[in-house]
Structure 1
Amino acid sequence: MDRQPGLSVRLKLTLSYAGFITLAGFLLLAVVWVFLLRYVPERLEPSPMSIPDRGALQRAFAPKAAAMLTLLVLFGLVGGWILAGSMLAPLTRITNATRLAANGSLAHRIQLEGPNDEFRELADAFDTMLAKLEAHDAEQQRFAANASHELRTPLAITQTLLDVARKDPNHDSGELIERLHYVNTRAIDLTEALLLLSRANQRSFTREPVDLSLVAEEAAETLLPFAEKRGLTIETSGDIAHTIGSHTLLLQMTTNLVHNAIVHNLPDQGTVWVTTSVHRRTATLTVENTGDKLTPQLVSTLTEPFQRGTQRVHTDHAGVGLGLAIVKSITQAHDGTLTLTPRPTGGLQAKIQLPTAPSPTTR
């Protein structure tokens, strides 16, 4: 927005200080002037010890008062300029840091020294914002690089299969079509996962009352055939847990957790536990599974996009590496928290805590 050029804040403060000092000096001189007019008589009898009459005092007082006011104006301007510069120095540092951030330099920090005043609070808040922006920017760059790599992989595989088929006309077309179908399906799944992740990050969804216990049952019933095929058992239990959010996104979040618990489980005779509960103002969804022992360091990286951890490699049902990243984004979009904890006996516990909603009159 184009604006008319105006006076700087420092100049405004300087003029304010100078004007205040000049006004105070003028009032002081006015008091002296009134004193002379009221208490000094018009004429005094001549005497060696008598003071001059009122007229002589006024003639002598006027030029002295003018000179004093001139000195006060100069003193107010110089002193005000110095004081204003000293007071606005922190604001200048914040402005410079803002310009650096606007030019793409997010690593700069103000680190303002001194007591905890308004400028210090503003500088600390700005430093915190810069740190979050820098972390978010780095995360976005990693995500873009990983997404580009993941999207390029199926395209490269498709190109290779087509080149082989073109060079070998006698190649089995049925096998080629099957492999192309598989690669294309994974590319579609990845694209849909990226779109879902973007939608969750933008919070562009309608909020409505949702019962997490019903969502958990729906996700478990959907994935039950898949679990039984792998020789696993899904157990659901818990209380009615009402929250506010998108039923579609919360169902996708729960489905991702249950799917992840099935895929990364024991080869046979494993178990997945899905429970819901309510504690004060928090609705909790917990998904646990048996499996290999995990370290806390490994678990802390599982919500990063395209992170699968040790022995969490591509399989027929391994997904695209965005399952827990989508879970984290949906949870944050619903003002909740996701906690991943390795189980002592092996496997993973995923706990999601969301704000509760008033229970409806009918379920």
Structure 2
Amino acid sequence: MKVSCTKENLIHGLQVVSHIASKNITLPVLNNVLLKAHDGALEVSATNLELAVITKIRGKVEEEGAFTVQAKLLTDFVSLLPDERVDFELQEQSIRVHAKNSQTIIKGTEASEFPLIPTVEKKYEYICLAADIRAGISQVAFAVSADESRPDINGALFSVHNKELTLVGTDSYRLAERKVPLQAAGGDHDVIVPSKTLYEVLRIMGDEQGDVVITVGENQMVFTFGSTTLISRTIEGRFPDYTQIIPKSHKTHVRASAAECAQAIRTASLFCKSGVNDVTLQFIPDKKELAISALNNQLGENTTVVHAKITGQNNDAVFNYRYLLDGLSAMNTEEVELTIEDRDSPGVIRPADGVSYIYVVMPIKQ
């Protein structure tokens, strides 16, 4: 293997994949990245056996070949090199690196020791804009359950129907649903995507523009964007029928400033009961007021009034303030709409700008 590339391209590729390579005592080769020079490019990949990331780096390939080296060592080393060309050459069990005023030998492991990254046989494929899938994932991933005893909700539902992708995350205390339009779709289906995969897609995608191709196979799926491919296992099983917990009616409707509501909730949260995280929302249509309060017998109490457009009946409910803040911060809009049936029913928060996103939060029953 003999290849040359710029430091800028190389460090970007290493930063994309090296996050996947983790400290693994039982299988040390998983701490490595695989460098593969072929087809006129340098391919860099890493895997933890649940996820794999492959990215292609532009460069000049003089001799094809493959080798693996420690991900952290190589990334840290390359980051210290001058911003010029970097030359790699495989010599026996090491890579010789040439850079300005520097020659280095980095020991590694034969490519044959690196786990085989599977090729996913396509069952379904769909295409969406990077901006849409980025917004969709970021608006549901935080609601996914971390409870390993419930694997069916340890990931987000990706449900394709009529050229529309619906993403859903829930931990049984709150639920987030976002609909994303598709540029193309190859059949209706459902799949559960692990939480770690969601965050890795967001991390790697960054501000990527253009199209994202999502391929679904047997127990695996692939995200392809730019020169990068992410392959992930999917979660077996069936996602719960979440639609039954989304209220179909309401008695009170509120439209208010998201920032003002969030500020009032943060203030009240200082006085909520320890371990309960309870804040009370009172809806007063006649005064067009949303009163947000908390009471702690040891600390004191607080009530903040947010002026809002309120229709329907007087109402009140108690919610976990953390869940409310999570939902409000995910709205990405100046105003939000909140609807509620009664104090024992879930509250529903939507962005007021009409984006296809809803956030459902269960009340704390007194």
Under a length normalisation based on structure 2, what TM-score does the superposition of the two structures give?
0.21
Rg (Cα) greater in structure: 1
| Greater strand proportion | 2
TM-score by length of 1: 0.21
Higher helix share: 1
